[in-house]
Chain A
Amino acid sequence: MLTVEKLSKNFTMHILGNKRIEACRDVSFTVPQGGFLGLSGPSGAGKSTVLKCIYRTYLPSSGQVWYDSATSGRVNLAYLPDREVIDIRTREMGYVSQFLKVIPRVSALDVVMEPILARNGVTRCEARRRAGELLERLRIPAHLLDAYPATFSGGEQQRVNIAHAVSWRPRLLLLDEPTASLDSDSVDIVLELLKELRQEGTTMIGIFHDTELMEMVTDSVVRIC
């Protein structure tokens, strides 16, 4: 479903006198449909860089990112035109960042509801119901649903972040330390959600701080160094 071939990413900092920083070099791996791949390696090894290159927040410096898309067949995400990347992000590819980044002045419920409404073709009422249910499962107190996530605690923010990313059931999900700021109960809930999502066919690539946990949820691990 996703094959990364010899992916490298360098940053050239023009404002620091063209300083060149190598973030990752010659990374290759394959994830089969429905698989869950873990990326491991020391901090600074380029794990997040690889995820961002797949999502195209970073432009890969060299290498290929082959993705079997549901709507447009096999595409190379490394060189796909912007508009098509947007299409794939909208229809198939989700990303959970390390920290919640949402539009200010949008309530927690709306944050989670918006992707369902935009992508799954359901009514407002149904989207609201699904979003509410998901947030309840992730133990966001009911009285916080109409509050702004920017004011939430770190753990609550991360759970809203996960709800936002999984609510619309993407076909490919990229997870960058989704459980980093969660307590062990919340981690269990999140893992259960991810498990359900996999059963529905979502392919995942994840970075986890906790190696034990990573070995438990993923079915193969690639070490990046």
Chain B
Amino acid sequence: MTYALEIKDLKKVYGTGVVALKGINLNVEEGDFYALLGPNGAGKSTTIGIITSLVNKTSGKVKVFGHDLDTDLVRLKQQIGLVPQEFNFNPFETVQQIVVNQAGYYGVSRKEALERSEKYLKQSDLWEKRNVRARMLSGGMKRRLMIARALMHEPRLLILDEPTAGVDIELRREMWTFLRELNKNGTTIILTTHYLEEAEMLCRNIGIIQSGELIENTSMKTLLAKLQFETFIFDLDRFDKKPEIKGYTSYFEDEQTLAVEIERNQGVNQLFEQLTQQGIKVLSMRNKSNRLEELFLKITEEKQPVEEKHV
């Protein structure tokens, strides 16, 4: 089977001696929407840097749709579109110049590139801004410009390194719809993000990198099934006597806010019954944090190297 991305025993030691990757093995299937998560400095950007040839690897193998990084670099590069974390376009060029030039670097003729620029700039809601210099765009527009630029050569694998950082929630949701559509049409997507809700909403499979090692590589469903409990927050109406909750681990975050850990399959009916019996009115209820976030913190905490834990 040809994978969209195959990584074997990938290692990276920087000139300073910092070991960024300790031998990562990872396969991403064609058509997948894959989340690559990890704390800051875990090795996500180094991995992406190596795949896109911005970082030289120390050892290991990388293949994209069967094209080897060492022996078939040109074809490998043709398959990939990259949306980097930082804005890296020329701010003095116009929006259309940026996307048309980028297409040219991939061998797309100018005529074809101009046609595609209309398609992708319209999709990104930037067509009206095509003659505006990139530095004049808002943060959200700049993000969309980077996505449009990455799509100009119609890559089979799109890598997004924190594409929604600093983007407001409305725009983020628009981008999610856009990315889902893109994935539905056959583009394999690899996403790194700090918004775990984003990963949960979009991705089917997930890998977690920590301290240069891939500590989880599974489907989102399987990973979420590992979650033993979720913490819920109940905003309570005024009461005379603090309620006693039996069968649940609970604590008060403040006078009116009750946090309750609810185990898998435990249900909340009993909890509501207890509160009702004690005359407590629940005003609202919500998750303490996103469930993937809770799991992510738990996994990364467990797998933290001993020496780091005691620092």
Specify whether A and B are partners.
no
